[in-house]
Amino acid sequence: MLLVIIIISPSILAQPTDLNSKTIDKKTYRLYLQKNWDSLIIISKQALKENIDYFYLRMRIGIAFYEIDNYRKAAYQFEKAIKFNTNDQSTLEYLYYCYLNTNRDLEANELSEHFSESLQQKIKPDPNRIINNIYFGTGPTFSNNISKNKRRNLMGRDSIYGEQDLNDNKYYLQLGLRQYIGKRFSVYLGYTNLTISKLKQIQAPEIVKTGYDTILYNGSYYVDTLYKRNSNMYNQNYKLYQNQVYINANIALGKGFTLIPAFHWINVRYNTIYANIKMKYAQSYDTIPSIPVYSIKQKDTSFNNYVASLALYKNISVFNLGLFGSYSNLNNKNQYQLGTLFTWFPKGNLDFYTTSTLVSAWGEQKNRFVFEQLAGVKVSPKIWTEGFITIGEMINYNEKNGFIVHNLGDKIKFRAGTNLIITLSHKIELSLRYQFFNEECYLIRYNGENSYKTIGSDYQNNTITGGLKWKL
């Protein structure tokens, strides 16, 4: 329970000195006692426009916003009040709960540094433990890629070789821990395992000798070998395994700023078939002057990639603004991203909110823009639902401060989904997420040693994940 205070401003304490300020002080005090919060907010805003500003005015308007559950605007007013009286424990208590009610836990933790011993005993802020929170998430992805794009023929009329590598069903497992170190710093450490079912298809030519023929060349007769071209199809179902380690640090810089550096390490390994194609040149008068000679081999492949990310966020009243960037070397190519985020809480709380994210991603001499819009609403005291849509090409791409990485080689052209967040208790939170992806895979046809053609084919993925957050 919050400390109940009656804000009295006798002349010895009242900071306003002119008649207009005294009038405002009397009106706001009367409205405060009457709990007429809407009128108190209106009159207080008018006073602030007239440059009437003092501690009790900020406290009263802050409490008014708090009582109508507009915690973000209340926090803004209490932050202003603290500038007049940095040690006022009532202000600190109100502000602390404003932060907690808007998921600004790190700022609440930082604020508790200034609590008096009696306020510490009353509120009992969460202590720093070896582990403060545990996260667990898992779920499958169901794909129609193989059923839709598996082919009987990969080669064109004039191609010498065809290949495609299809991503299909996936299974995801993630475990994370968060620890608060001091009052201004928290660290998240997560491990992810991703298993992907894949189909490798290779179609390579086979030159078959069919007989001999006698031809006249420069006045002489020669025996020529006759060939015809067949093709062999190789299909292999295999698994790709990814082990990933992610770490970030949330650093409260003060004045609503939070800095988040992050690093994501990814190990990819698989075993599959490869084709080694070489051109063998026959005599110019042969029926097939150049003959592709190939061999199929199976080998293990393993490599490491990483993402380095840096984000800066600023809370301003009912808004949260973000600027972030990253560098990655996914699939051993260089990628750069720069983005901005804008979150709006119209009611100043978590009853309704929207987040717009715009990212510029460039690599391999190509720049792409990705836009995401999310909206969330509180549907009951303990249940929230969110919906989101993402437009733009995501390939060798990361998001959420490098936490989510798309490195499977296929192009994500569209995404939409929904989240369900359920607070089971003060310490346990359950989340369910559904995502729909429209993606594009590639068939490669080689026409010669340095010539090839890429053909894209669409497919769809449906991902369902469940998560559990346990606050220790």
Domain ranges of the chain: 19-123, 133-471
Alpha-carbon torsion (325, 329, 331, 334), positive or negative: positive
- On whether the CB atoms of residues 89 and 115 are closer than 8 A, the answer is yes
In the prediction, which pLDDT does 297 show? 92
In the prediction, which pLDDT does 349 show? 97
- Spatial distance between the Cα atoms of 409 and 442, rounded to a whole number of angstroms: 9
In the prediction, which pLDDT does 127 show? 76
pTM of the model: 0.88
Question: Which segments of the chain have a pLDDT < 50?
Answer: 1-19
In the prediction, which pLDDT does 157 show? 74
Render pLDDT for 270-309 as a digit per residue (tens, 0 to 9): 999 998 877 665 555 555 556 667 788 999 999 999 999 9
Fold of the domain spanning 19-123: 1.25.40
Domain 133-471 has CATH 2.40.160.40: yes
- Spatial distance between the Cα atoms of 244 and 411, rounded to a whole number of angstroms: 21
Helical packing angle, 71-84 and 89-100, nearest 10°: 150
CA within 13 Å, CB half, 161 = 20
- On whether the CB atoms of residues 192 and 257 are closer than 8 A, the answer is no
The one-character DSSP state at 330 is: G
In the prediction, which pLDDT does 226 show? 67
Render pLDDT for 100-140 as a digit per residue (tens, 0 to 9): 999 999 999 999 989 999 999 999 887 777 789 999 999 99
- Spatial distance between the Cα atoms of 358 and 252, rounded to a whole number of angstroms: 24
Residue 353, CA distances (Å) to 274, 314, 325, 383, 394 in order: 50, 16, 24, 14, 25
DSSP labels for 279-345?
Answer: EEE--TTSSSSEEEEEEEEEEEEEEEEEEEEEEEEEEETTEEEEEEEEEE-GGGS-EEEEEEEEEE-
Q: Which percentage of the chain shows pLDDT scores above 70?
A: 89
Q: What is the CA radius of gyration of the chain?
A: 32
In the prediction, which pLDDT does 280 show? 62
In the prediction, which pLDDT does 449 show? 63
- On whether the CB atoms of residues 191 and 244 are closer than 8 A, the answer is yes
Same fold, 19-123 and 133-471: no
